[in-house]
Chains A and B, each alone.
Chain A
Amino acid sequence: MTTSNYATERETTEGKVFTVTGGDWDTVVSGTDPINDERIVVNMGPQHPSTHGVLRLILELEGETVREARSVIGYLHTGIEKNLEYRTWVQGSTFVTRMDYLSPLFNETAYALAVEKLLGISDDITERANTIRVLMMELNRISSHLVWIATTGMELGAISIMLYGFREREYILEIFEIITGLRMNHAYVRPGGVAQDVPEDAIIKIREFLKLMPKRLKEYEDLLSGQPIWIERTKNVAVLDVTGCLALGVTGPVLRSAGLAWDLRKTMPYCGYETYEFDVPTHTDGDVWGRYQVRLAEIRESLKIVEQAVDRLAKPGPVMVADRKIAWPAQLAIGIDGMGNSLEHVAKIMGQSMESLIHHFKLVTEGFRVPPGQVYVAIESPRGELGVHAVSDGGTRPYRVHYREPSFVNLQALPAISEGGLIADVIAGGASLDPVMGGCDR
């Protein structure tokens, strides 16, 4: 047995006895690096209420300063991309809508645009279908930004704004319910157009909303913009400049808050966005405050687009391509349990037309074939560039669909904006990226 400073031993009649003493504390202290030994590793999440879903952050802290931050994702991976390969092209829209659950209509539209490009029918999409898509996407952008301001407010201690943000979002979800039958997971935008036309009572409700929302936005600003705590928590926090954004692939409001007016609705238009009048708000600070300003301004711009789209809906027209090999023959209707086949139509095809029934059956079970090839379609979601890389091998089901999710890509910037800052600013910085883990993990 070795004798050490910590435990001397001696023989007694009862046996060997160790006397354990403390070491020389001074030598222990001088032997360590006082800085590094102060570092502790803290695990934040995946169930932390301030991490926007099941995001796990591993933080190496020195006091309250974050020295290193690493994010761990995948807790919400549901294999949607793989699942799509075993469903028909139309069924895909019910899957992709569940990815980023705060912006389902963007997921659907991006998917529909990709399938349409593969089919070569992009130019055949009716004007009314495009207008409805724009209308729905912009309403969805507003609701997504409202959730952002609500959750970010809550995470920074402003509880009232959380209630207000969710209250107004509920209004939009009610509009969605009138149009699509569901508050979320709509499967409303389908390859070829949209599932059905916008009913008249939805238009009335949207017009009410257009009157209401500017007042409410004013309330939010009265509540937050001049508030010293809000300013302290957001200004000069989690700064990321344009160079950093581009290197890390960050797009959307975060990039625009750094000063680059890159908005795919303007720079690479789709769905007829080039015919709407709106501005791309930017800010130059590149901090949380800038992102807050940009998002609030974007809500205002979206309201402008919604107003223009509603005006255009006065002109009736088809909402689906006329090709009966792509458009479902079913006339869909909203029932008490969401959208489904209209009973009248079912009665007709069951009772009167055998050919309709066969055609309906083949198109729904087998689906349509899509010529082989690959496309990449990108749209501007509330979080940035939402891209769909779709590959067809000529079959009735997607060969591969990859979503370039802005949440996934933007979240890479979290170490860059939080390292060197305070731990409390990790929350503000992470929230300002607006990650939605359903989209990030897919």
Chain B
Amino acid sequence: MTAPQDKPNDGGVPVPVTPAGASSGAPAEHPPSSPAGRGMFGNQGSGDVSGYGGLVRQRRPIEAASRPFGGYFDEVYDALEEAYPGFADAIEKVVVDRGELTLHIRPERIAEVCQVMRDDLALRFELCSSVSGVDYLGADERRLHVVYHLTSMTYRRRVRLEAAVPVEDPHLPSVTAVYPTADWQEREAYDMFGIVFDGHPSLTRILMPDDWEGHPQRKDYPLGGVPVEYKGAEIPPPDRRRSYQ
């Protein structure tokens, strides 16, 4: 990407101004992190039909942030360190990206951390906005991530906690004792990803039928779509269609 702000000496000739929104560096910069669930179409490569299929693009890894994190992030980090004795042991990584703070927590410590996040006077994350699962198949050994979005109504802050568990042993403590609202959301994460929340009062399926097999939002879950015939041609199920990556 060229830096549009370096304006060359134009010698009085009008130079086109970079349009608003053009500086994002969005297209074609970042290839995907994993081949998870991507289409085949007899094609094991990039699926690129542009003629540049042999090009290997560098993917920018999301790096751990270093102090100072900026904004209120340092205050949250320091307050948690002060209030929680097992802090050094529990925090795996701190990521600051797009103005959001992510604390990667060791899964077995997640309920304790949530307790401190809720109760400490300097933290006061009263509301657990969202609990969701993400499957990083092929990108992380502990591929199942549980993502908690906490909101502090007192300080008007948000923070994201993330805990990663391996698919062979997808256990971590439930936070329902701290945030009762996590009840259904943990059930959904169990239903869709097979993540087991120990200590949950009734961890059963919630959206899929009780006798459903498998966890549909895992990236290796077969879609099982039936090829659709339309005017004599067959259209394969979505995960087997040609994909542009």
What residues make up the interface of A, taking CB atoms closer than 8 Å to B?
73-74, 77, 79, 81-83, 85-86, 117-121, 124, 126, 192, 246-251, 260, 262, 267-268, 321-327, 365-376, 378, 385, 387, 389, 391, 393-397, 399-400, 402, 404, 408-409, 411-412, 441-442
Identify 17 residue pairs between A and B in the complex whose beta-carbon atoms are under 8 Å apart, listed by A's number: A74-B208, A77-B207, A83-B238, A120-B26, A249-B180, A262-B153, A268-B156, A326-B21, A370-B26, A371-B30, A378-B129, A389-B132, A393-B139, A402-B130, A408-B188, A412-B181, A442-B207
Instruction: Provide the residues of chain B in CB contact with A402, threshold 8 Å.
Output: 130, 132-134, 147
Residues A389 and B181 in contact, CB atoms below 8 Å apart: no
Residues A394 and B30 in contact, CB atoms below 8 Å apart: yes
Within 8 Å by CB of B59, from A126, A250, A394, lies A394
The answer to the question of B209 belonging to the interface, with a C-beta cut-off of 8 Å to chain A, is: yes
The answer to the question of B83 belonging to the interface, with a C-beta cut-off of 8 Å to chain A, is: no
Residues B100 and A369 in contact, CB atoms below 8 Å apart: no
Name the interface size band of chain B.
Answer: 35 or more
- Write the nearest CB–CB distance from A151 to chain B, whole angstroms: 23
- Write the nearest CB–CB distance from A387 to chain B, whole angstroms: 5
Residues B180 and A248 in contact, CB atoms below 8 Å apart: yes
Residues A373 and B134 in contact, CB atoms below 8 Å apart: no
Given the known interface contacts A268-B156, A393-B32, the answer about A375 and B216 at a Cβ–Cβ threshold of 8 Å is: no
CA distance A313 to B102 in the complex (A): 38
Give 1 or 0 for each of B210-245: 1 = CB within 8 Å of chain A CB. Answer: 000000110000010000000000000011010111
- Write the nearest CB–CB distance from A409 to chain B, whole angstroms: 6
The answer to the question of B62 belonging to the interface, with a C-beta cut-off of 8 Å to chain A, is: yes
- Write the nearest CB–CB distance from A242 to chain B, whole angstroms: 10
CA distance A73 to B209 in the complex (A): 10
Residues B179 and A247 in contact, CB atoms below 8 Å apart: yes
- Write the nearest CB–CB distance from B5 to chain A, whole angstroms: 15
The answer to the question of B55 belonging to the interface, with a C-beta cut-off of 8 Å to chain A, is: no
Instruction: Provide the residues of chain A in CB contact with B245, threshold 8 Å.
Output: 395-396
Give 1 or 0 for each of B156-194: 1 = CB within 8 Å of chain A CB. Answer: 101010000000000000000001111111001000000
CA distance A249 to B181 in the complex (A): 5
- Write the nearest CB–CB distance from A133 to chain B, whole angstroms: 16
The answer to the question of B90 belonging to the interface, with a C-beta cut-off of 8 Å to chain A, is: no
- Write the nearest CB–CB distance from A194 to chain B, whole angstroms: 14
Instruction: Provide the residues of chain B in CB contact with A81, threshold 8 Å.
Output: 217
Instruction: Provide the residues of chain A in CB contact with B147, threshold 8 Å.
Output: 374, 389, 402
CA distance A368 to B126 in the complex (A): 38
Within 8 Å by CB of B127, from A82, A86, A246, A391, lies A246
Residues A404 and B149 in contact, CB atoms below 8 Å apart: yes
Given the known interface contacts A74-B209, A79-B216, the answer about A325 and B27 at a Cβ–Cβ threshold of 8 Å is: yes
From DSSP, what is the main secondary structure of chain A's interface residues? loop
Residues A394 and B32 in contact, CB atoms below 8 Å apart: yes
Within 8 Å by CB of B62, from A372, A396, A404, lies A372
CA distance A338 to B138 in the complex (A): 42
A363 nearest CB neighbor, chain B only: B27
B26 nearest CB neighbor, chain A only: A119
Give 1 or 0 for each of B18-37: 1 = CB within 8 Å of chain A CB. Answer: 01111011111111111001
Residues A412 and B184 in contact, CB atoms below 8 Å apart: yes
Instruction: Provide the residues of chain B in CB contact with A412, threshold 8 Å.
Output: 180-181, 183-184
Give 1 or 0 for each of B26-60: 1 = CB within 8 Å of chain A CB. Answer: 11111111100100000000000000000000011
CA distance A250 to B205 in the complex (A): 22
Instruction: Provide the residues of chain A in CB contact with B153, threshold 8 Å.
Output: 246, 260, 262, 267
CA distance A148 to B190 in the complex (A): 32
Given the known interface contacts A74-B208, A374-B147, A394-B30, the answer about A246 and B184 at a Cβ–Cβ threshold of 8 Å is: no
B128 nearest CB neighbor, chain A only: A249
Residues B33 and A82 in contact, CB atoms below 8 Å apart: no
CA distance A133 to B238 in the complex (A): 32
A327, A402, A411 interface centre (most CB from chain B within 10 Å):
A402
The answer to the question of B120 belonging to the interface, with a C-beta cut-off of 8 Å to chain A, is: no
- Write the nearest CB–CB distance from B143 to chain A, whole angstroms: 12
Instruction: Provide the residues of chain A in CB contact with B238, threshold 8 Å.
Output: 83, 86
Residues A367 and B244 in contact, CB atoms below 8 Å apart: yes
Given the known interface contacts A77-B207, A412-B183, the answer about A395 and B32 at a Cβ–Cβ threshold of 8 Å is: yes
The answer to the question of B80 belonging to the interface, with a C-beta cut-off of 8 Å to chain A, is: no
Given the known interface contacts A268-B156, A369-B27, A373-B97, the answer about A393 and B132 at a Cβ–Cβ threshold of 8 Å is: no
Residues B98 and A118 in contact, CB atoms below 8 Å apart: yes
Residues B33 and A372 in contact, CB atoms below 8 Å apart: yes
Given the known interface contacts A247-B179, A322-B22, the answer about A396 and B60 at a Cβ–Cβ threshold of 8 Å is: no
Residues B217 and A82 in contact, CB atoms below 8 Å apart: yes
Instruction: Provide the residues of chain B in CB contact with A77, threshold 8 Å.
Output: 207-208
Within 8 Å by CB of B24, from A119, A378, A391, lies A119
CA distance A262 to B29 in the complex (A): 40
CA distance A442 to B27 in the complex (A): 30
- Write the nearest CB–CB distance from B91 to chain A, whole angstroms: 18
Given the known interface contacts A322-B20, A376-B160, A404-B149, the answer about A391 and B134 at a Cβ–Cβ threshold of 8 Å is: yes
Instruction: Provide the residues of chain B in CB contact with A120, threshold 8 Å.
Output: 24-26, 98
A367, A376, A378 interface centre (most CB from chain B within 10 Å):
A376
Across chains A and B, which 3 residue pairs bring their CB atoms closest together, nearest first?
A249-B181, A322-B19, A394-B30
Residues B244 and A247 in contact, CB atoms below 8 Å apart: no
Given the known interface contacts A267-B156, A396-B245, the answer about A247 and B130 at a Cβ–Cβ threshold of 8 Å is: no
Instruction: Provide the residues of chain B in CB contact with A441, threshold 8 Å.
Output: 207
Given the known interface contacts A118-B98, A370-B26, the answer about A192 and B31 at a Cβ–Cβ threshold of 8 Å is: no
